[in-house]
Amino acid sequence: MSSEYYTTKNAVHENEQNGHGVKRKLKIVSPCKLKALVQKHYLNQQELSRKEMQQLNQANEVIASCIINTLSKKQYDEMAGFILTEITNKNSGEDFFGDSLGFIGYTNVEGVHDSAKQAKHVQRVQQPYHMMECKKNIPYFLQLYQTVERMGVNQFGGLDIMYFDILVQTRESSTVYKWHVDDDTDNNPGEMDIYRTVIVKITPGKAVGVQVAGHETMWYDDVAGACIHFRSNAVHRSVLPADDAELISCMKLVFFLGRNQYIFDGRERSSLSSLSNTKARTVYINRNKRSRRMGF
């Protein structure tokens, strides 16, 4: 898929050809089953059956990459420079946001966990007024935010941006994450409904890659605007480049997309408002039927 603001490069689907050349869809696997398969394959180094490998490769478009060309290289550089100066290297963003938004206790990381480094290198932006500060003050952030919004509407069936992370990754940043999912209560303290994770690298050069369980590691293009997006309930991890000398530092904006009603992959969650509207329509129809029977 391509558009005026982003171009899809790679995609991995759960659909596969069967012996008759007809595509079939795999059944959705529970999170508990996925975690058990990850434990077996990656941690215990046990061989999985073909069916188990297919179960790891679940979802419609599990993981894909693209280039978001909304901004020029100069504009990405200006955005990243502002974040580095005013947020990352300045009280971990406390002056900018008026609050401490940095992680301090997420210990599921490569290397030794360091709460001070973690707070400096990742801030979770959830509250509307914190989001507004970013839109108003970070150069060109609003344009990028709107591009990801359009992706949510056009590519993912109407998902909205629930919140986002400002993420800097180095070998010693305490932000290179081990196996996890993005839609659980541990990684999602707001307990929002999250379905798609969209990561935009806003600095050029080498970056920490992403591996979804059951897939090869996907690496970012070297340009600013390189993007990887994947299903949020897929078990995944951060992967350092083989030649660590090539990775000095990379900055990313991690957008978490979700909504409460119809979901792109076929799941459906009814919001309270939709349930209330359905109930109200049923009551109205029943009242009309009763009124007609009574001659009103």
10-residue averages of pLDDT along the chain (296 residues): 41 39 44 68 70 58 87 97 94 91 90 93 94 97 96 83 94 92 65 84 94 91 95 91 75 88 38 36 39 39
What would the DSSP string read from start to end of 71-119? S-HHHHHHHHHHHIIIIITTGGGHHHHSS--B------BSSS--HHHHH
104 inside domain = yes
Per-residue pLDDT at 101: 93
Q: What is the CATH number of the domain that holds 189?
A: 2.60.120.620
In a domain, 296, yes or no: no
- Look at residue 38 in the predicted model and tell me its pLDDT: 64
Asked, for residue 23, whether it belongs to a domain, the answer is: yes
Structural domain range at position 178: 6-258
CA distances to 10, 63, 231 from 40, rounded to whole Å, are: 27, 22, 21
Predicted local distance difference test score (pLDDT) of residue 230: 93
pTM: 0.71
Beta-bridge partners for 239: 209
Nearest in space to 228 (alpha carbons), one of 219, 237, 240, 236: 219
Burial class (CB in 10 A: 0-12, 13-18, 19+), 73: exposed
Q: Report if residue 293 sits inside a domain.
A: no
pLDDT of residue 157: 73
Q: Is position 292 within any domain? A: no
Please, what is the end-to-end C-alpha distance for the chain in angstroms? 57
Q: Is 85 exposed, middle or buried (0-12, 13-18, 19+ CB in 10 A)?
A: exposed
| 27 belongs to a structural domain | yes
Closest residue by Cα to residue 215 from 194, 196, 239: 239
The count of structural domains within the chain is 1
8 A C-beta contact, residue 63 and residue 231: yes
**Euclidean distance between CA atoms 123 and 126, whole angstroms:** 10
Is residue 272 assigned to a domain? no
